Amino acid sequence: MPKLIIKPSLDEVRELSARGNLIPVYAELPADLDTPVSLFLRLAGSDPAFLLESVDGGERIARYSFMGVRLREAFILRGGQLARHHLTDSGLRIEPLPEPVSNEPGRKGDVLDALRAEMKRYAFVPLPNLPRFCGGLVGYTGYDVARQFEALPETARDVLGTPEAIYLLADTLVAFDHARQRLLIIACAFTDGAESLSEAYDDAVARIKSIFARLSAPMADLAPNPAAVCSPARSNKTQDEYERLVVQAKEYINAGDTFQIQVSRRLARRTTAHPFAIYRALRRINPSPWMFYFDFGALLGSKGGNPLPPLRLIGASPEMHARFEDGIATVRPIAGTRRRGLTEAEDRAMAQELITDPKERAEHVMLVDLGRNDIGRIAKYGTVSVPDLMVIENYSHVMHIVSSVQGTVRDGLDCFDVLRASFPAGTLTGAPKVRTMAIIEALEGERRGIYGGCAGYFSFNGMMDTCIIIRTIVMIGDTCYLQAAGGVVADSTPTGEYKETANKLRATMVAIDEAEQA
């Protein structure tokens, strides 16, 4: 093993503490013989963990992959109540958080205000040679968190019972630098707590050394679950039932209630495959700009004295939810789908058919306008723009029409305001957003839960990067839940929308197939 050199030194941290109270301490190691997957299998163990990866446009690997390990704390939202879950040597400690306070007059506090209050404890000190993301809150905000932001009906059943949101506190991070083939083990030293500065530094160094020691450990076994059984996928809506929902959605549109409605259906499938084996298959067959694997482990807690079943998220999302960086907020609506062609000629023909389809163009323009409205809620006047309009992007099984909308965020607002203004994404609801969400509640009859929300991070340095939770498997115990929606407009056909959901579900279904066969 290479020698472990830790930077900055304690004396340098003392100097840096004049600029802030959260200082990244790190070690740099060669990683030319490793991959993010092999490292994750060595480092994660049975602890709560995550892996974030990216392949830009489905083709170019982004510079960094991020792994969260040694995670001991999370903020979990259940039944509208946010609590801090902290793993200690004696077990899990759960501490309900106080009622959140809004940063805007006349608006009731919500989960994002509570997360902001937690993050305000930290004044991050950036260092050269490190990635922009060195830790923060990492996790998901489920679709139904929208009930904290908007007045919505409460008629749909909560079938899955997953937490509305989970954010892991990642103060220890492993970054895989693809460009320089190096590994960065980063542990943030919090110098403003009960510990002295030297104790905080020693704690960060100990976390780095613990991860370094794991690098020589054998990779985790991805053997199938012997207690599980495989079962065919079952849909919560038959084809006939789904197509009737499309007809009903068109009736709402023709009555003038809405212009477009995203109507979804969900599959359930039991599997013997190891969750991370499914992720490996998904990243191979459907490389995407936002790939993620979350295992929330023992942080979930128990119910009735029994541990809750394991919850994992396995995703390869093509679509940004919202990003906030250097004062700029960005959303990137995707609307319009075709399957990939079997040959280059057929692929080009499918792309031409997609980009010239009046129905697809009308749906896409509608959602670009919705994105402009969302960004306009938090942007300075005159700064909202559309840098990219109606570009075709290809993925393993489908192609999409994609646009980009951005604006300069008003003074006094932050990443949490950007998420609130854009949540949930219009491409997962339709337009107008709030009225359409009420219609979705009536049509679908079951709460979406995690699907249609967003996954990503709020960084210690104020950045945010999130994707929409689509092309994602929500795995509860040994059961995989997959969900997809068709965008219904006035000239949609019921069969066409059903086929669109089938196309969108294909990559995740194939990933489970491959993991089972392996």
Is residue 258 annotated as a catalytic residue, yes or no?
no
Q: DSSP letter for 348, please.
A: H
Residue type for position 341: G
The answer to whether the peptide bond before residue 226 is cis (omega within 30 degrees of 0) is no
Is residue 377 annotated as a catalytic residue, yes or no?
no
Residue spans of alpha helices (H) in 227-295: 239-254, 275-285
268, two tokens: 């359930």
What contacts 147, CB < 8 A, 6 or more positions away? 80, 154
Options 172, 408, 427, 501, the catalytic residue: 427
CA distances from 487 to 169, 260, 498 (A): 35, 7, 10
Q: Is residue 43 a contact partner of residue 282, using CB atoms and an 8 Å limit? A: no
339, two tokens: 């399957």
Question: Quick one: angle between helices 239-254 and 433-444, nearest 10?
Answer: 150
Q: Is residue 191 a contact partner of residue 39, using CB atoms and an 8 Å limit? A: no
Is residue 381 annotated as a catalytic residue, yes or no?
no
Q: Name the one residue in this structure whose structure tokens are 């940004």.
A: 320
Options 122, 143, 201, 451, the catalytic residue: 451
User: Rounded CA gap, 297 and 117, in Å?
Assistant: 25
SS3 of residue 299 by DSSP: helix
Is residue 487 annotated as a catalytic residue, yes or no?
yes
Options 400, 447, 448, 506, the catalytic residue: 400
Is residue 88 annotated as a catalytic residue, yes or no?
no
User: Rounded CA gap, 433 and 287, in Å?
Assistant: 30
What residues are labeled active site?
400, 427, 451, 471, 487
